[in-house]
Copies of this chain bind each other. A is one copy, B any other.
């Protein structure tokens, strides 16, 4: 399961995707609308900013907004930033590989199986973007992706 933090991150990004190109949005606005603890959300948005998914502006008229168009940020990348690996075993993770106690044999069947599972999820999460969360996605996207 995704952590609460990752769920909050996705909700916040959905909110910002729906306001893309409408200028900076206050953290407090997102927190209130989505029912996310304010200070917790601050940490989350900061992580997303450090990961180059969001941009911030300080002072009056400031806030957070997407760095690129919603269709440029995959769900996979968001999850990796907040929760780390998507794979179910460390030894089959593409971005967070760590050798794994499970793989005692040289040609480990367990890891091969979970590599298959990983590819299956990534087939979805690498293709879906924040655009797929936007309310008025438009006919083209919906036919193309849904």
Contact = CB atoms under 8 A, between A and B. Distances in A.
A62 interface: no
Copies assembled: 2
A79 B110 CA distance: 13
A34 B85 CA distance: 24
A128 B104 contact: no
Interface in A65-117: 75, 79, 84-85, 87-90, 100-102, 104, 109-110, 113, 116-117
A2 B88 contact: yes
A105 to B, nearest CB: 8
B90 A35 contact: no
Contacts of A7: 89, 100-102
Interface stretch (A23-31, A38-46, A52-60, A119-127): A119-127
Given A1-B90, A11-B102, A34-B104, 7 more contacts: A1-B89, A2-B89, A35-B101, A35-B104, A109-B132, A116-B128, A120-B121
